[in-house]
Structure 1
């Protein structure tokens, strides 16, 4: 049985927020040169399992060693910001 893809809205309603990380890494052939890579995904704070999974992938598969990582996390839907609208009134 294949797993149905989860929409971004479903993830946000489950508590996920958008995590953006900037990876600074050394070039494989020029170790004195730093380069950067931007990564974004929906993740759960404060544990950030998807971010740490990507860091482990990087260390295992990418030749450029990591220098540092900085990241930010923003919950896009918070309590009190989302409500069910039952009707709409239009006024000319």
Structure 2
């Protein structure tokens, strides 16, 4: 059985981390942070957009700002052809 996260990485998904700042529902002058992490496709981030749409629709704390970091964990191998021989004593 293959892990679904591994299959998503092979399909081009990368690990996306978003720091979400939102206003407290009862105290609008206070900001709270929330860290969200999932596999997503850069640069459009459809999974993150779906989550933020859910947040805006269902939760009381209005969004203040979102900071996104993304890294593809599986990348093509970098192969360098070396010409020559190195001898160590």
TM-score, scaled relative to structure 2: 0.82
Which structure has the bigger radius of gyration? 2
Per-residue deviation, 1:80: 1.0
Q: Encode CA deviations 1:15-65: one digit per residue, 9 max, x unaligned.
A: 000000010000000000000000001001111000000010000001000
In the other structure, the counterpart of 2:25 is 28
CA distance in 1, matches of 2:3, 2:75: 19
2:50 is the alignment partner of 1:53: yes
Map 1:5-24 to 2 at 5 A: 7-24=4-21
1:42 to 39, 43, 65: 39
Structure 1: runs of 5 or more not aligned: 82-92
Structure 2: runs of 5 or more not aligned: 79-89
Count the aligned residue pairs: 77
CA distance in 2, matches of 1:9, 1:53: 21
In the other structure, the counterpart of 1:75 is 72
Tell me which stretches of 4 or more aligned residues in structure 1 moved more than 2 Å: none
